Amino acid sequence: MPTSNLTVSGDIGGVAVNSSFSRTATGQIAHDVTLNAAKTGTLTTRTDNTSGIATLEAGHGITAGNVVDLYWTGGRRYNVNATAVATNDVTFSGGTGDNLPVATTALTMAKQQTIDTDFVGNLLVAIGALAAARAHISFYESLTLRLSVDLTANELWFWVNGGTAANPLAAASVTHIIASQAGTTAAALKIGALYTSA
């Protein structure tokens, strides 16, 4: 049976902390994908907290109807609808996350990528994700969003059973993961799950 191991080492508040633990189960899932680069731009029109126009770099490749994620210093919105495109001007609205910043703020816009996967949340023993750039991942059960996670560049997000935190995907039957990143060069994303096979 597969075993997952994790070691955490460092200090908190000046106190050295070191911890190693492992979990064994009957199944595992591994995703090692490359997230496409986001496109640079500026928020040229701020209509309201959730809609506006972004002027992007030439050759951005975003078309009307795309679902995109927006990133800027100190904030992000995801599941945003690109409603119209006129050359480099992308009109957008909706989504979830932070209110849009003031007009003229630099931002990046990324088309979402779908990662095909399949597992039952209640069977999870451990799950983790690590991105080489600032990123966002969302776990879906068909059309229903079950968990949304912001990833800081090179900082591991994880959960293991037996600890104090509740299973973040309890009662979910995950069918796919949506991901994007804020950076302007392609970046690696790793997602792993250990579970008890049904």
- As a whole number of angstroms, the distance between CA 68 and CA 54 comes to 12
- Ranges of each domain in the chain: 3-35+113-195, 39-111
**Lowest model confidence (mean pLDDT) among 7-21, 117-131, 137-151:** 7-21
12 pLDDT more than 70: yes
- Confidence at 69, pLDDT banded by 50, 70, 90: very high
What does each C-alpha distance from 49 to 55, 96, 103, 192, 197 come to in angstroms? 17, 11, 11, 35, 44
pLDDT tens across 78-98, in order?
Answer: 999 999 999 999 999 999 999
- Confidence at 164, pLDDT banded by 50, 70, 90: confident
pTM (predicted TM-score): 0.94
pLDDT tens across 86-131, in order?
Answer: 999 999 999 999 999 999 999 999 999 999 999 999 999 999 999 9
109, 85 contact by CB (below 8 A): no
Topology (CATH level 3) of domain 3-35+113-195: Jelly Rolls (2.60.120)
Strand ranges of the sheet holding 113-120, from the earlier edge strand across to the other edge: 113-120, 173-181, 135-141, 144-151
198 pLDDT more than 80: no
